[in-house]
Amino acid sequence: MSTDQLWAFHERVAAELTQRIVSEKATLEDRLRQLQAPGQAAKPDRSRRPYPKVLPKYRNPKNPGETWSGRGKRPRWLAKRLVAGSKLNDFLIARPGRKRR
């Protein structure tokens, strides 16, 4: 094939790909509009399950207002004290009926 023939073939391929992309995009946008239709939005029949309140398990003895439930990332005040050599059980909040480890 000559250079002119290759260039013409390239233009035909590019035009065909552009047409297919536009067609597929229109199809996808139509499907998206159907999914986002406000009148057809499915609402859940039940509400979210109630979760129990999580009480704090650990308290900072230097600042009793700082507590931690034991979930998530450890607070800075606790991490510093643990690095300094304290044990996690040293910060447990005493509750009746709860055994201290």
Q: What is the mean pLDDT of residues 15-34?
A: 94
Q: Which residue has the higher pLDDT, 55 or 98?
A: 55
> By three-state DSSP, how is residue 68 classified?
strand
Residues 6 or more apart whose CB falls under 8 angstroms from that of 61 comprise 91
- pTM (2 decimals)? 0.47
- Reported as a pLDDT band with limits 50, 70 and 90, residue 101 is low
Give the pLDDT of residue 40.
Answer: 57
> How many angstroms separate the CA atoms of 82 and 88, rounded?
7
